[in-house]
Structure 1
Amino acid sequence: MEFYRPQRKQTAIPIVSLIDILVILLVYFVVSTQFKKKRDVLDVNLALTQEMQTQKLVQPAAVLSISATGEMSLEATRIPEGFLLDFLKTFRKQNPDRKLEVKPDKNASWQSMVTVWDALTKAGFQVKDVHHHAKVPGSKG
């Protein structure tokens, strides 16, 4: 005896609605993706001022000051923007044996410091021989 078996319906997945969902996800990911851009960075390894060896100097030296706004002056002569290298070359020519000190303001930017170091190198100074003013934590003045 054979029993009646109703035909099973093939379940179909509605492709159209899945395509809509995939398009929405694709648009979302395209809009929310942040593309990585290559950028120039400078790798600087700084020691803490407590760990650095400091020196007490008595001999006079010319002072290159850097203000918080990036303005520079060499021995109280303001250096116009873009003329730092020319000033340093002239100073080096006129005073070949005179020492140079860099005195940055507490809020001077790293960009201005790197600009000064680059100009010092191009002007013929050894950056390691140029002294930098630094206030050691715990010291007065």
Structure 2
Amino acid sequence: MNLRPKRRPVPMIPIVSLIDIMVILLIFFVATTTFKKDKTQMKIKLPESKSLGGSASAADTRVAISIDEKQNIFLDGKPVELEKMAAAIGALKQKDPGVKLELQADTTAALGVLVKVYDALREAGYNISDMPTRIQRAAP
């Protein structure tokens, strides 16, 4: 009769293969985070404060391009034909090179008219992304 307990073998953990897996995961995470690009969905121009050092000048006032519910186009309150829109905007830009525009369109304005106005703006040398747009509700 053998009263001595049997020695159990000490379990061995294969640490070398765990280190290999950890290094591969580290390389994967480093590589994937460097390929991430910041994508902005919209451009936002933040408001400026008069009391915090920003001063409003005459160039900050905007000239409105308005489209009413009958698809009539107005540049600074004056009616303009769609075919002469680019020439009128170009003349306005020559008169005051720092002039800024904004588009005010009625909710019932046709998309085709808006696209033609944008084409006229590009033809006159304006960047569409710098021009704010306001949609107006139709009068009841």
Q: For the structure 1 residues 72 and 53, does the alpha-carbon distance in structure 2 shift closer, same or farther, using more than 3 Å as the test?
A: same
1:128 is matched with which residue?
129
- Asked if 1:60 is matched to 2:68, the reply is no
| Paired residues, number | 86
Q: 1:95 Cα deviation (Å)? A: 1.5
What displacement does 1:62 show?
A: 0.3
Coordinate RMSD, CA, aligned: 2.5
Alpha-carbon distance change, 52 to 93 in structure 1, aligned in 2, over 3 angstroms: closer
Question: Is the CA contact (8 Å cut-off) linking 2:65 and 2:101 kept in structure 1?
Answer: yes
Assess, with a 3 A threshold, how the Cα gap between structure 1 residues 98 and 52 changes in structure 2: closer, same or farther.
Answer: closer
1:11-47 deviations in Å (ceiling 9; x for gaps): xxxxxxxxxxxxxxxxxxxxxxxxxxxxxxxxxxxx9
Quote the Cα distance in structure 2 between the aligned partners of 1:75 and 1:68.
Answer: 17
* One-letter amino acid matched to 2:80: I
Question: Runs ≥4 in structure 1, deviation > 3 angstroms?
Answer: 51-59
1:79 and 1:116 map into 2 onto residues whose CA distance is 11
Counterpart of 2:125, as a letter, is G
Q: Which residue of 1 aligns with 2:84?
A: 83
Give the Cα separation in 2 of the matches to 1:101 and 1:107: 18
What residue number does 1:92 align with? Answer: 93
* Superposition deviation, residue 56 in structure 1: 5.8
TM-score, normalising length: structure 1: 0.53
Greater helix content: 2
For residues 88 and 104 of structure 2, what CA distance do their matches in structure 1 show?
A: 16
* CA displacement at 1:55 relative to structure 2: 5.8
CA offsets per residue over residues 27-84 of structure 1, 9 Å max, x none?
xxxxxxxxxxxxxxxxxxxx9xxx9968668842000001122110111111024211
Change (3 A) 1:110 1:56: farther
- Specify the SS of the correspondent of 2:64: strand
1:108 is displaced (CA, Å) by 0.5
- Corresponding residue for 1:72? 73
CA distance in 2, matches of 1:133, 1:56: 16
Identical columns (%): 20
> Pairwise mapping of residues 37-56 of structure 1 onto structure 2 (< 5 A)?
none
